[in-house]
């Protein structure tokens, strides 16, 4: 068989490199290059080791022929036990016959040929050939092999660009997929589950988490998690904003990348580490209109340096898309809630208005049917009932208007210094006819006020509050007590230090302990027969809250009777001092 010429060997190597498009074909090309390079140089054995970029990260490719081996890892001669220096000042293939160092001498080498493989002036690989006999390759062969080493660098660069383009295409598809999911009819949890599954596959990660942030409660909660090959929506974990990794991202409003041991990285940054340590970790904030709404994080428990600038850019984009999805879901939820609220409100208003209007209609028909000789003596009593019923309608409509203002944040308190006891007496007087009709004993600070009297209820209790709104609170609480009391209602108002406390109690059947926490929920109604629109107590709580106060419901004693107790800072200065103390404690 005719031996190949030097030029033919060169063309064979270049042709093999031109066909290299991926890791497998690159290895095949290197095998051809090594075999033909050794033939050109007249060496017995050799090794080519190169770093090839792929979507899985940087991978090391090594081809060996014969007995030669490298005594170090990586692509740099720095780890060589023989102490060779990198031949950075030598272009092309460098041949040495000064073999005095341990590894090469012990291997019986007499001649060594070495060369760098570079990509854009950065080292990307090494070539080494070894011979047991002294060898001095001719200059033309050295030039051809040096040229092939350059072509290996070009091939690595070409494969790298191809991988980068494929990676960008995959990232773009991920972004488009997330975009389609956002406009789909999936629920927020279903959609997020699909997103984290896609991210988990593209970034080849072990775990992906989508975490929502509630700025009002300063809480973080898991929305979706992707673990290995499955999505797990069963994580109810909720925890406060703290000094952990996800909290760091929320506070700093920027991504956090850890390329190696997360325990060590967290220690350097002063971040508290929670959960299982990872080899690689990356998180990005979900920001919508300058507000952080959550965090997306990915982590690998098996690979270091898995995430890079490209992964950070992709995660940032997806985090932004998820933020839009979360906001869209919130807005949609608000719309649905408003529609449901309208339906509940329309139903309740219709029911309550009918119950308030019906008595007036009944009284008018009764008045029309009275014999002429009895109209005079009954006229005043019936007219009084009509006026009382119309006043109830007025208060009902006013309550709805106030609730609407509170709900929209448009209710502004008119704080003034006034007498709390006088405000309570005014509210009690409204219900005097009901007290008389139901034979209820009513006391204010121990004094009987059933007949609308009560000047002996003590010295004025002066405080800062909105008289009109606080009277609405008293009217509501006393009105509820009237509905359920069996024989008596007791109202107390007192001052302890810088706090005003009011207590309204009745001896009715009370409210089951399991229902107490729901009493202040909008539209909630107990199972009792005396039902209303379900906005009274929510309105009461909101008014008390606007006064920076608190309200609680409970049993009078041993589960019997019912009591409402609320309090608020007595003066504006007391309120401001309380706010300063709260800020100082944060």
Yes or no: say if 75 and 83 are a contact pair by the CB < 8 Å rule.
Answer: no
> What is the model's pTM?
0.49
Please report which helix (H) or strand (E) contains residue 2, including its range: none
Mean pLDDT is lowest, of 122-126, 290-294, 578-582, for 578-582
Q: Take residue 335 and report the two structure tokens written for it.
A: 């719309």
pLDDT digits (tens, 9 = 90+) for 273-294: 877 888 999 999 999 988 999 9
* Domain-located, residue 338: no
Cα dist from 17 to 8, 49, 160, 287, whole Å: 14, 15, 14, 46
Residue 442 and residue 488 in contact, taking contact as beta carbons nearer than 8 Å: yes
Is residue 126 within 8 A of residue 77, CB to CB? The reply is yes
Q: Which residues pair with 105 in a beta bridge?
A: none
DSSP designation for 29: H
Report the alpha-carbon angle 258-262-265, nearest 5.
Answer: 70
Q: What would the pLDDT profile of 244-273 be if each residue is shown by its tens digit?
A: 999 999 999 999 999 888 898 898 889 988
Residue 133 covered by a domain = yes
Average confidence (pLDDT) over 517-524: 77
Q: What is the pLDDT of residue 84?
A: 53
- Domain span holding position 49: 6-165
Boundary (domain end) residue, out of 317, 333, 349? 333
Largest separation between any pair of C-alpha atoms in the chain: 144
Claim to verify: residue 222 and residue 150 sit in the same structural domain:
no
Q: What percent of the chain has pLDDT over 90?
A: 28
Same structural domain for residues 86 and 132?
yes
Q: Are residues 90 and 214 in the same domain?
A: no
Q: Are residues 145 and 13 in the same domain?
A: yes
**Is residue 358 included in any domain, yes or no?**
no
Cα dist. 350→311, 346, 353, 402, 540 in Å?
57, 6, 5, 18, 22
Domain stops at, among 165, 199, 234: 165
CA–CA separation, 129 vs 34, rounded Å? 9
* Cα separation, 151 vs 469, whole angstroms: 85
Please write the tens of the pLDDT for every residue from 470-484: 999 999 899 889 988
pLDDT for 585: 55
In a domain, 344, yes or no: no
To the nearest 10°, the Cα dihedral for 332, 338, 341, 347?
A: -110
Query: Do both 456 and 500 map to the same domain?
Result: yes
User: Looking at the structure, do residues 227 and 275 belong to the same domain, yes or no?
Assistant: yes
User: Is 416 contained in some domain?
Assistant: yes
Cα distances (angstroms) measured from residue 363 to each of 52, 359, 436? 94, 6, 19
User: Is the alpha carbon torsion for 182, 183, 187, 190 positive or negative?
Assistant: negative
Query: What angle, rounded to 10 degrees, do the helices at 536-546 and 467-484 form?
Result: 140
Same domain, 494 and 562: yes
For residues 2 and 9, what is the distance between their CA atoms, to the nearest angstrom?
A: 13
Tell me what the mean pLDDT of segment 157-181 comes to.
77
Which CATH number does the domain housing residue 548 bear?
Answer: 3.30.565.10
Of 165, 163, 181, 75, the residue nearest 122 (C-alpha): 75
Look at residue 466 and tell me whether its pLDDT is greater than 60.
Answer: yes
Cα 321 to Cα 174: distance, rounded to the nearest angstrom: 11
Residues 159 and 220 in one domain: no
Whether 356 is in a domain gets the answer: no
Contact 444, 423 (CB under 8 A): no
* Of 283, 285, 106, 322, residue with least CA distance to 203: 283
- Dist. CA 281–CA 555, nearest whole Å: 53
Complete DSSP assignment for 521-557:
STT---SSS----S-HHHHHHHHHHHTT-EEEEE-SB
Count of Cβ atoms closer than 10 Å to residue 394 Cβ:
11
Between 198 and 564, the more confident residue is 564
- Say yes or no to pLDDT of 147 above 90: yes
User: Nearest-CA neighbor of 392 among 470, 479, 484?
Assistant: 479
Q: What is the mean pLDDT of the chain?
A: 82
As a whole number of angstroms, the distance between CA 281 and CA 275 comes to 12
> According to the model, what pLDDT value does residue 399 have?
78
The more confident residue out of 409 and 503 is 503
583 dihedral zone (left: phi>0; alpha: psi -120 to 50; beta): alpha
> Any idea which residue has 């740099």 for tokens?
76
pLDDT (0 to 100) of residue 509: 85
Q: For residue 345, is it within any domain?
A: no
Share of the chain above pLDDT 70, in %: 85
Residue 39 has pLDDT above 60, yes or no: yes
Residues sharing a CB contact under 8 Å with residue 321, sequence separation 6 or more, in sequence order:
175, 178, 179, 182, 195
Residues 559 and 426 in one domain: yes
**Who wins on pLDDT, 10 or 555?**
10
Phi, psi (deg, nearest 5) at residue 448: -70, 125
Instruction: Please tell me the predicted confidence (pLDDT) of residue 64.
Output: 85
Q: Say yes or no to pLDDT of 189 above 50.
A: yes
Residue 38: Cβ within 10 Å count = 21
Distance CA 126, CA 49 (A): 5
Q: Count the domains in the chain.
A: 3
CATH of the domain at 45: 3.30.450.40
Pair (322, 406) in one structural domain: no
User: Same domain, yes or no, for 438 and 520?
Assistant: yes
Q: By the 8 A CB rule, do 452 and 465 touch?
A: no
Of the residues 297, 317, 333, which one is the last residue of a structural domain? 333
Q: Do both 495 and 540 map to the same domain?
A: yes
Quick check: 420 and 493 in contact, CB under 8 A? yes
| Total Cβ atoms within 10 A of residue 381 | 10
In a domain, 361, yes or no: no
* Residue found under tokens 């409100």: 345
Question: What confidence tens digit (pLDDT) does each residue in 365-403 have?
Answer: 777 777 777 666 677 777 877 777 787 788 778 877 887
* DSSP-based three-state secondary structure for 489: strand
């Amino acid at each position: 068989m005719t031996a190949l010429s030097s030029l033919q060997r060169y063309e064979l190597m270049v042709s093999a490199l031109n066909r290299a498009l991926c890791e497998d074909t690159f290895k095949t090309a290197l095998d051809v290059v090594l075999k033909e390079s050794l033939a050109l140089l007249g060496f017995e054995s050799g090794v080519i080791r190169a770093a090839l970029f792929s979507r899985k990260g940087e991978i090391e490719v090594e081809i060996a022929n014969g007995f030669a081996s490298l005594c170090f890892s990586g692509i740099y001669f720095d780890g060589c036990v023989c102490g060779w220096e990198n031949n950075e000042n030598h272009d092309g293939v460098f041949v040495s016959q000064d073999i005095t160092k341990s590894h090469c001498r012990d291997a019986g080498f007499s001649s060594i040929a070495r060369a760098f493989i570079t990509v854009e002036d950065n080292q990307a690989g090494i070539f080494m050939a070894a011979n047991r006999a002294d060898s001095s390759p001719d200059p033309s062969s050295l030039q051809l092999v040096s040229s092939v080493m350059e072509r290996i660098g070009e091939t690595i660069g070409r494969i790298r660009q191809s991988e980068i383009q494929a990676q960008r295409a995959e990232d773009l598809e991920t972004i488009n997929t997330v975009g389609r999911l956002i406009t789909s009819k999936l629920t927020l949890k279903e959609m997020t589950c699909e997103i984290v599954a896609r991210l988990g596959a593209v970034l080849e990660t072990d775990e992906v988490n989508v975490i929502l942030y509630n700025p009002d409660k300063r809480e973080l909660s898991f929305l979706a998690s992707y673990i290995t090959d499955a999505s797990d929506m069963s994580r109810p974990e909720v925890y406060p904003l703290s000094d952990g990794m996800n909290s760091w991202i929320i506070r700093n409003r920027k991504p956090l990348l850890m390329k190696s041991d997360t325990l060590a990285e967290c220690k350097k940054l002063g971040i508290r580490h929670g959960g299982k340590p990872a080899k690689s970790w990356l998180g990005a904030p979900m920001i919508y209109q300058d507000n952080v709404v959550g965090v997306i994080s990915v982590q690998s428990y098996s690979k270091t340096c898995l995430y890079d600038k490209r992964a950070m850019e992709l995660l940032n984009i997806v985090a932004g898309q998820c933020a839009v999805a979360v906001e869209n879901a919130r807005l949609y939820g608000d719309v649905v809630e408003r529609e449901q609220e309208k339906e509940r409100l329309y139903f309740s208003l219709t029911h309550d208005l009918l119950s308030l209007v019906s008595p007036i209609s009944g009284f008018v028909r009764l008045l029309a049917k009275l014999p002429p000789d009895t109209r005079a003596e009954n006229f005043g009593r019936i007219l009084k009932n009509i006026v009382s019923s119309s006043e109830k309608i007025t208060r009902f409509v006013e309550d709805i208007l106030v609730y609407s203002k509170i709900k929209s944040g448009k209710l502004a308190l008119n704080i003034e210094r006034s007498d709390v006891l006088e405000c309570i007496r005014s509210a009690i007087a409204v219900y005097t006819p009901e007290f008389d009709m139901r034979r209820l004993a009513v006391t204010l600070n121990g004094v009987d006020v059933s007949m609308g009297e009560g000047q002996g209820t003590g010295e004025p209790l002066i405080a800062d509050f909105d008289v009109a709104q606080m009277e609405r609170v008293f009217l509501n609480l006393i009105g509820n007590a009237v509905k359920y009391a069996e024989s008596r209602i007791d109202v107390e108002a007192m001052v302890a230090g810088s706090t005003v406390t009011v207590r309204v109690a009745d001896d009715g059947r009370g409210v089951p302990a399991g229902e107490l926490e729901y009493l202040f929920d909008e539209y909630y109604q107990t199972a009792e027969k005396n039902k209303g629109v379900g906005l009274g107590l929510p309105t009461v709580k909101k008014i008390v809250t606007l006064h920076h106060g608190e309200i609680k419901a409970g049993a009078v004693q041993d589960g019997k009777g019912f009591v409402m107790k609320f309090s608020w800072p007595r003066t504006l200065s007391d309120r401001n001092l309380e706010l300063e103390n709260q800020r100082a404690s944060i």
